[in-house]
Amino acid sequence: MKLPRIHSTTFSSEIMEIFNYLHTHPEVSMEEYHTTAFIKNKLNEWGCRNIKTFGDDPGVIAEIGKGAPIVGIRADMDALWQEVDGTFRANHSCGHDAHMAMVLGTLLYFKKMNIEPKGTIRYLFQPAEEIGQGAKLMLKKGAVNGLDYLFGVHVRPLEETKNGRAAPAILHGASCSITGRIIGEDAHASRPHLGTNAIEVAASLVNELAHIHADPLVPHSVKMTKLQAGGSSANIIPGQAAFALDLRAQTNEVMEQLIEQVKRAVSTIAEFFKVKIKLIVPDYLAAATLNMEAASIMAAAIRDILGEDKCDAPLVTTGGEDFHFYAKQRPELKTTMLGLGCGLAPGLHHPQMAFDRSAMLTGIQILSSALLKAIDAENGRP
């Protein structure tokens, strides 16, 4: 079924109003309390049922329609903390304000167009994407239980996707931030043999990292991104150092190999220098795996709304995104993220990030269409 187009100016001004509110009330990861309250209010006002919040944790889910299948759509809610025009503050420079406005927009669209889904649509407003915690939290709260499909959306920089075009999947890579501490004894600079210079230990580690190898056909990297050692006294050999490593890989398999090799390199170096090296290896941000069923539904929605020739190939990008935790933990769930071209510049996370806000209206129609197509697919209607 071809969806009716949005022509109403009241619809677009309502969406812009929602976007402006969210844009001017940014909250950082795990502190999205006002954002949660604002969204919950809209979900209530627009007739959602099963509205659930999570006590002390931000985030809210809700449903429309009834029965099977259950198709989900997720928006991330958090802003970044950064310097904007000389002041540090929360700032929506990753476009999560637009994602929330678009996902809410699908609800408003169904309501205004009197479209009743032949199944259930579950809305997931997820906190803490930027710190990689939100999707895991939603999984723990059962937010994706019973879902057949889950869609997400991210605005794309203009060099990736042009305004007026969109991609049916965003193939983010896996990423992992490992932190570590070298724990040894300080010594007088004149007696280096009585201590272990933590800077030399770290330098050896950097060299060792260069010998980590994985399949060259899968893009990957391992590098030290932080090193702190020594104080203001240049005549002390520092026994302690703190460091951080950034790992990237285009597949989860290669990420797991990199983590194992980093652990091995660290224990070899620790053994050689006879120091302790404490590593903290958190859960890594999972890479996307292309789900053909979900991506082809999204591609069909893009072609319906933007035109036959406006659908790009699935987008491969090195950035990370915690949306892919859902599919990693629930492999049976059919997931994809819409990559929306919107003339975004100078770039995601840039304090002055801006985009063509009218592209949100297109995004709303593509997402609405994908939700209905997924329900039809599960009901056996192509």
Residues at the site binding Zn ion, with contacts judged by CB under 5 A:
94
- Residue number, 94 or 107, with CB nearest to Zn ion: 94
- Residue number, 176 or 372, with CB nearest to Zn ion: 176
Centre a 10 Å sphere on the Cβ of residue 256 and count the other Cβ atoms it contains: 15
- Residue number, 94 or 108, with CB nearest to Zn ion: 94
Q: CA dihedral in degrees (102, 107, 111, 114; nearest 10)? A: 100
Q: How far is the CB of 15 from Zn ion (least distance, A)?
A: 19
- Are 338 and 156 a contacting pair, CB within 8 Å? no
Q: How far is the CB of 318 from Zn ion (least distance, A)?
A: 13
- Residue number, 197 or 317, with CB nearest to Zn ion: 317
Residue number with the shortest CB distance to Zn ion?
Answer: 94
Q: How far is the CB of 370 from Zn ion (least distance, A)?
A: 19
Provide the token pair at 241: 């150092």
Count of H-run helices and E-run strands, the chain: 9, 17
Inter-CA distances, 189 with 144, 196, 234, 239, Å: 58, 11, 8, 11
Q: How far apart are CA 245 and CA 294, in angstroms?
A: 34
Give the residue from 60, 42, 91, 94 showing the smallest Cα distance to 322.
94
- Residue number, 34 or 349, with CB nearest to Zn ion: 349
- Residue number, 94 or 299, with CB nearest to Zn ion: 94
Q: How far is the CB of 352 from Zn ion (least distance, A)?
A: 15
Q: How far is the CB of 381 from Zn ion (least distance, A)?
A: 33
- Residue number, 105 or 152, with CB nearest to Zn ion: 152
End-to-end CA distance of the chain: 10
Q: How far is the CB of 216 from Zn ion (least distance, A)?
A: 28
Centre a 10 Å sphere on the Cβ of residue 34 and count the other Cβ atoms it contains: 14
Pairing of strands 174-183, 276-280: antiparallel
Q: How far is the CB of 332 from Zn ion (least distance, A)?
A: 25
> What value, to the nearest 5°, has the Cα angle with vertex 227 and ends 223 and 231?
170
